[in-house]
Amino acid sequence: MCLIVFAWRPGHAQPLVVAANRDEFYARPSLPLASWTEAPHVHAGRDLEAGGTWLGVGANGRFAALTNIRDPHRPPGRKSRGELVARFLNGDCSIDDYLADVVRRSLEYGGFNLLVGNRNELWHFNARETEAVMLQPGVYGVSNAGLDTPWPKLLKAKAALSEVLDDPQPQALLALLSDAQTAPFAELPDTGVGLATETLLSSVFIASQSYGTRASTALIVQADGALHMVERSFGPFGGHLGEVELKI
């Protein structure tokens, strides 16, 4: 998952609103949003290479999602980052205990941002930091750097999310995730991947022959715990592969 914008509004009729794009190589096999056979209370897509996931919901209002931190000079982690989301969704330990364990073992993974929460709390942990942070109400965004790092696509997506928060609907969230406009050269970050790749990765929605946005997810959580989740899947050059809708 490479871009997540979200509104955290405890006490609101819709306390959590999420719009997220998962960017990955098209050749990496995965399954779309579904209830997991061995854990029916988990609803998420699935990475078939390592068995984890990038975003999902579990029992008792549990929510988790992650993005990678882009650092071409750092060796890959020993473990798949997707298991960090899967373990939280499939578990029942407290957020505090779970994050304490993640912090202790963070060096086993490549760089990552992790969001975990329930109906009452939402936390963020960046693997480059030493502790997790409980988020206060607000509109946030995270891509492949730190929380709210002002990359052009993140600023654009956060602004678009703010505009629909009076009456958030899945189709509006998916529309903001479909923006394929790349950033001007002068506004590109320098993450060590070269100008051509920085340009490709600078759009909210990424499309190319081998790498791009594989899934766009809209999630709206109601105060009573009900949720509405829609995921669109994509192939090379942004070809639409299907859509899954979940209401619980």
20-65 pLDDT, tens digit per residue, is: 999 999 999 999 999 999 999 999 999 999 999 999 999 999 999 9
The average pLDDT across 82-110 equals 96
Helices 152-163 and 170-177 cross at an angle (nearest 10°) of: 160
pLDDT at 151: 97
The average pLDDT across 175-203 equals 96
What are the distances in angstroms from CA 72 to CA 119, 155, 194? 36, 23, 11
Q: How confident is the model at residue 1 (pLDDT cuts 50, 70, 90)?
A: low
Residue 91 pLDDT > 70:
yes
pLDDT at 149: 97
pLDDT at 106: 94
The average pLDDT across 98-119 equals 96
8 Å CB contact between 106 and 128: no
User: Which CATH number fits the domain that encloses residue 107?
Assistant: 3.60.60.10
The average pLDDT across 85-92 equals 97
Cα–Cα dist 38/243, whole Å: 23
Share of the chain above pLDDT 70, in %: 100
Q: How confident is the model at residue 7 (pLDDT cuts 50, 70, 90)?
A: very high
Q: Tell me which residue range forms the domain holding 48.
A: 3-247
Mean pLDDT over each residue of the chain, to the nearest integer: 96
Q: pTM for the whole thing? A: 0.96
Structural domain count, the chain: 1
pLDDT at 73: 77
pLDDT at 71: 84
The average pLDDT across 154-163 equals 98
Residue 126 pLDDT > 80:
yes
Give the neighbor-by-neighbor strand order of the sheet with 30-36: 30-36, 39-47, 55-57, 63-68, 112-117, 122-126, 133-134
